[in-house]
Amino acid sequence: MEITKPHLTDYQKQILFSESRFTITEASTKVGKTHSHIIWLFGKTMELQESNGFNYWWIAPVYNQTKIAFKRLRRNISKYGVFKFNETNLIISCPNGAEIHFKSAEKPDNLYGEDVYACVFDEAPRAREESWYALRSTLTATEAPCKLIGNFGGVSNWVHKLKEKSKTDSNYSYFRVTCWDAIREGILSEEEVLQAKKDLPEKIFKELYEAEASEDDGQLISNESINKLFSNTHINDGIKYITADIARLGKDKTVIYYWNGLRVEDVIEMNISTVVETANAIKVLQAKYNVNNTNTICDEDGVGGGVVDILKCVGFVNNSKPIKVKGKEENFSNLKTQCYYKLAESINRNEIYFSKSDLEIKLSEELEWVRLPKELDVSKISLLTKDEIKKKIGRSPDYSDALMMRMYFDVNPNKGNYFIY
């Protein structure tokens, strides 16, 4: 069998022939991501004359997407008559014994396996981070290379965050391919791209065609400030506080923060816990850092009220009236919105430091969705609700809510601090 090498652009060659084990590519739509990476994965299966038991994976967020790649490769190689195609399980068997599996990332547990010698994770930004964790574990035994590709998925997306590794770890390389790169290589028509720029909102065009971040019109916290939240080590120590977002009716996640001034220095996460267990966890944190009940605040909605009753600490009622500032009422729909506005101001001024880097992706994603609704009533300013955000990111914004409650003590400075004259 004789295979003619296909034409590749300069940027495709840089990605495919990178010496790094892992490549992360954020790229414009229609610049040849899928096409070039199918070529790479197929080439990997052909490297050895005998590859019995060697598996090669193509992964996409959902079954229908991975099936598209399967059909594309089958269409190109079926003419040789030496490959076998399993249409049910989406497996291509090669004459040297290698198998190419086309898999969905919908269930991370299905990405644990053996003898995987190369992998492409297509449209990775649309898949859950847990899928990457499972895949990364699978690749450990064979030390196999993996290429992650997709459109820009936002600055808080786990794939975008992986690019940080490329700055310090030679195992990782990051590539950004724009529509203008594709025009120079003759892949896209300049006329078509310019028309798309006219037809689409600026934010959508930047993300889909230029692989670039562009904040939503209603986004309160800038992407740059969100990124700096985790590197603002210059923030000074200060008064100690504890904030806790309590799981509602046993759902969501309980998140507890210890604050040293505006520095989050310790975090407790609890998936399932009773009111008493949550209260005891807060007591342990209070004793460890010498924090009083007057400087401890818990979400009082739902079961959180029980925690407040046990501790006798400050209760935070999300839908209560905004606090008067210097005797004047502010035009916010509720206390939660008022505190989120204060939080946005503080983060945008780089006044807060969050020390737990392992939570960076989740917290960043939640803070990106601190947004105004499309229809804004300036007389009673509100934000997207918790349920609306949950629909967007697939979970409750518990990490950002625990962050927001710290602002209660800044909005209401008489709480938590006592002075004797």
pLDDT in tens, the chain (421 residues): 666 778 899 999 999 999 999 999 999 999 999 999 999 999 999 999 999 999 999 999 999 999 999 999 999 999 989 999 999 999 999 999 999 999 999 999 999 988 999 999 999 998 988 999 999 999 999 999 999 999 987 777 889 888 888 989 999 999 999 999 999 999 999 999 999 999 887 777 888 899 987 666 678 998 889 989 999 999 999 999 999 999 865 567 899 999 999 999 999 999 878 899 999 999 999 999 999 999 999 999 888 899 999 999 999 999 999 998 877 888 899 999 999 999 999 999 999 999 998 899 899 989 999 998 866 665 688 899 888 898 888 889 999 999 999 999 999 876 554 433 3
Determine contact, residues 161/154, Cβ cutoff 8 Å: no
Token match 């400050």: residue? Answer: 314
CB contact at 8 A, 242 and 286: yes
Cβ–Cβ under 8 Å, residues 221 and 249: no
* pTM: predicted TM-score of the whole model, two decimal places: 0.67
Range list of H helices, 100-238: 129-138, 158-162, 179-184, 190-199, 202-209, 223-228
Q: What is the DSSP letter of 323?
A: P
Question: Smallest Cα–Cα separation from 177: which of 188, 189, 167, 166?
Answer: 188
381: three-class secondary structure by DSSP:
strand
CA distance 163 to 152: 12
Q: Structural domains in the chain?
A: 10-209 (3.40.50.300), 224-411 (3.30.420.240)
Specify the pairing of strand 84-86 against strand 91-93.
Answer: antiparallel
